[in-house]
Amino acid sequence: MRAASSRPSLMVLTLVLAALCVVVVDGRNHIHKQKPHGHGGVGGRHNKASGANGATVVSSPAVPPEDADEPPPLLVPPPPIGTGIVPSDPATPTQPEQQPCVFDVRAFGAAGESTADDTDAFRAAWSAACAVQSGVLLVPSDGTFTIASTTFSGPCQPGLVFQVDGVLMPPDGPDCWPPSDNRRQWLVFSNLDGMTLRGAGTIEGNGEEWWNLPCKPHRGPNGSTLHGPCDSPTLIRFFMSRNLVVEGLRVENSPEFHFRFDGCSDVLVDGLFISAPANSPNTDGIHVENTERVRIYNSKISNGDDCISIGTGSYDLDIQNISCGPGHGISIGSLGVHNSQACVANVTVRNAVIRNSDNGLRIKTWQGGAGSVSGIAFDGVLMENVRNCIIIDQYYCLDKRCMNASTAVRVANVSYSNVRGSYDVRSAPIHFACSDAVPCTNVTMSEVELLPFSGELVDDPFCWSAYGVQQTPTIPPISCLQDGLPESLLDDLDLKCP
């Protein structure tokens, strides 16, 4: 039960702590240090440095670590000789770096005993941290905190950090979910600019009871599904926000998607460990939709669905040093469902490992849609026992009742370079099933070598309405790509996307 009588005292405590953060300058940098989990990216290694607040900071591959032997730069460089400036001249004042102001949720009444409801304490701590510059909401390392579905909204002051060093989790399963709470999302971060979610702790999703609902795929008798309420919460959703950083966390067993970025821009995801059983339904690791300028680095994801899924409205994604599997690989789509328009452009995947997965690199669209997928580059991907290593499917359908259509989301300018490894021989390693009306075009293959994980070589890649070029010989040989462009597209090159 949430104690309503404690709210006035919490409000007073919030105001007092906020005032202290404004006045106190020294001695307030006391975020708990925690040893890292050692669950970095591919190979389990990534560069780490200690930030100003003592928390672990993971450096992206695009930013080399600073040389520890190099002396720190001068805040105010000396004046050049001959300028006439004497020691008595007033110096240009320097602004000290804003120090973080830490709001430990225990100070707001959180018990951290797993069975207690700490929702009100988190909401009060958020209000206090949001109101000051460089505020830190701290989930300490010595507790397990349970909170109900909550939206943490902005706008907030610059430099806000949500630091999870302990364990944070939702109620245990649908039977424990408060009836008044949203059953489709748990933590939502909305309308924020410049927020960081990080820590050495764990966000535990308690998803097993959600996965076992009879309406989930293959949960009913004889592998069927049953009617009934089937909403399950996304664990962490960022909505209509920008300049976001998510780093260093362990996130497990989400009821549905682990992370969802929706309507966001300028996102950095770095050093995550995401885990759920291989048979957990719809537990995508990271889903991106209507979001642009996204960097996903140095993370390990094993789950029951797509490792990374990319939906419509996604532009300029850079994905590097990712380990996936088991799961469904890295997917663009599905796109164009219910005759909708879908647009995805400029996606790069580099230095990835995909193991023991149903799919490797997949683009999937529904018949009847419109729009385009273009500017996609897969470079330096290692496969190990993957059933469908390379697949473009413009006939995606969840059952056998889908009708043929004369329109489709166009797939163009897709390159596969240095893709190597082994495949499950139950399926051909390369499968291009493209639309008759809107074929796939400018598909480029270079240094693609895929051998059977066990059993006999399958040497029959499948192509239908696929146009492109082999820049080097491919293993297995692929001779079904057609040259040039189809006549049906020569007069209509409008992709109908921004």
* DSSP designation for 233: -
Say which of 30, 328, 338, 431 is annotated catalytic. Answer: 328
3-state secondary structure of 128: helix
Within 106-167, where are the H helices? 119-130
AA identity, residue 431:
H
And the tokens for 12? 């007073």
Residue 322: beta bridge partners? 299, 352
Phi, psi of 107 (to 5 degrees): -70, -15
Catalytic residue check, 37: no
Q: How many whole angstroms separate alpha carbon 157 and alpha carbon 51? A: 20
Q: Could you tell me the two tokens for 417? A: 């370079």
- Token pair in block for residue 198: 């990080």
Per DSSP, what are the bridge partners of residue 432?
Answer: 392, 463
Tokens of 113: 């005993």
Q: Which pair of structure tokens corresponds to residue 328?
A: 């469904």
- HSE, side-chain direction, 13 A CA sphere, residue 435: 28
Other C-beta atoms lying within 10 Å of the C-beta of residue 290: 17
Q: Element (H or E) spanning 430, and its range?
A: strand 430-433
Residue linked to tokens 């991106």 = 288
Structure tokens belonging to residue 136 = 């830190």
Rounded Cα–Cα distance for residues 135 and 160 (Å): 5
Identify which of 260, 299, 274 has the alpha carbon closest to the alpha carbon of residue 58: 299
Rounded CA-CA distance 229/409 in Å is 31
Letter string b/e over residues 436-458, b meaning 16 or more CB atoms within 10 A of that residue's CB: ebbbbbebebbbbebebbeeeeb
Stated as kind and residue range, the H or E segment containing 260 is strand 259-262
CA distances (Å), 362 to each of 243, 331, 341, in order? 28, 5, 19
Whether 281 and 216 have beta carbons less than 8 Å apart is answered as yes
Per-residue tokens: 224: 């069927």
E strands, 264-394, where?
265-270, 273-275, 286-289, 292-302, 308-310, 314-324, 330-335, 341-355, 359-365, 370-386, 388-393
Rounded CA separation 390/375 (Å): 16
Query: How many CB atoms sit inside 10 A of residue 467's CB?
Result: 20
User: Which residues are tagged catalytic?
Assistant: 328
